[in-house]
Amino acid sequence: MNLRRKKWNTARASRKDERVKPDYSLYLVTDRALARGRPLVELVREAVAGGVTCVQLREKQLGTREMLAEARALLAVLRPAGVPLIINDRVDVALAAGADGVHVGQQDMPLADVRRLTPRGWIVGVSAESLADAEQAARGGADYIGVSPVFATPTKTDTALPLGLAGLRAIRAAVQTPLVAIGGIHPDNAAAVLRAGADGLAVVSAILAAENPRQTAADLRRIIQETQA
């Protein structure tokens, strides 16, 4: 199986002249609460084997020390696969672990502050819950924009109203920045989300709560390849 995945390499990314663009097309966001007791590292390993191209560690309930340990454990799996690890919210954890970037929401550290604290070549993604958020993130130089939520989702309870495919299309028309759609995405609606302008599909429960995360990742991967062909 050809994953058509460009390998991510932080050292190369930091030299602007040969910057490799990260592949956001199948973007897994973690939530240990959905793993039903299975170790997160094993689920991520399976998901990557199925075709996940980018992983975000998002564990709001973990203490800092435990989150740092989890980040390091994930990096041991992701580095050999050439898949970048992005840390939600915690710039300090990302720096200490040697992750590839950080994802910040509208209540997290402002993008400009994140850039001042982090090295060149770092991936910084920003959540947008509206067209105005997305335009601001694009102006600020976000590497990608997490469009959230596209559909209603059970895995986050503090989110805004769903933007829908129409909202995603409006953001696509307004900004050039890569868009990663999140919220209620699964194999049955994945193609429609991509056709509405998303560069990537972010999933949480569709993979982490699946009986067979590798198979579900491979299903999504196939849809992405067919839609982008």
Applying CB under 8 A, which part among 48-56, 106-114, 188-196, 199-207 lies near a copy of itself?
Answer: 106-114
Nearer to a copy of itself, 146 or 200 (CB): 146
CB of 99 to a copy of itself, least distance (A): 13
Q: What x/- string results for residues 107 through 146 when contact with a copy of itself is judged by CB under 8 A?
A: xxxx--x--xx-----------------------------
91 binds a copy of itself (CB under 8 A): yes
CB of 20 to a copy of itself, least distance (A): 26
Residue 183 · residue 153 · CB < 8 Å: yes
What number of chain residues touch a copy of itself (CB under 8 A)?
A: 21
Number of helices (H) and strands (E), helices first, in the chain? Answer: 10, 8
User: Which of the residues 5, 127, 214, 221 is marked catalytic?
Assistant: 127
Smallest distance from a copy of itself to CB 179, Å? 22
Active-site residue, 156 included = yes
117 and 144 Cβ atoms separated by less than 8 Å: no
Contact flag: residue 76 with a copy of itself (CB under 8 A): no
Using the minimum distance from each CB to a copy of itself, give the nearer residue, 29 or 91: 91
DSSP string, 92-120: HHHHHHT-SEEEE-TTS--HHHHHHHS-T
Cα distances (angstroms) measured from residue 120 to each of 12, 116, 145, 199, 217 = 11, 10, 18, 23, 31
The Cα 135–Cα 128 span in angstroms is 9
Which residue number, 145 or 208, has a Cβ lying nearer to a copy of itself? 145
Distance from C-alpha of 141 to C-alpha of 127, rounded to nearest angstrom: 13
| CA-wise closest residue to 202 among 23, 27, 13 | 27
Contact positions toward a copy of itself, by CB under 8 A? 63-66, 68, 89-93, 95-96, 104, 106-110, 113, 116-117
Active site amino acids: 58, 127, 156
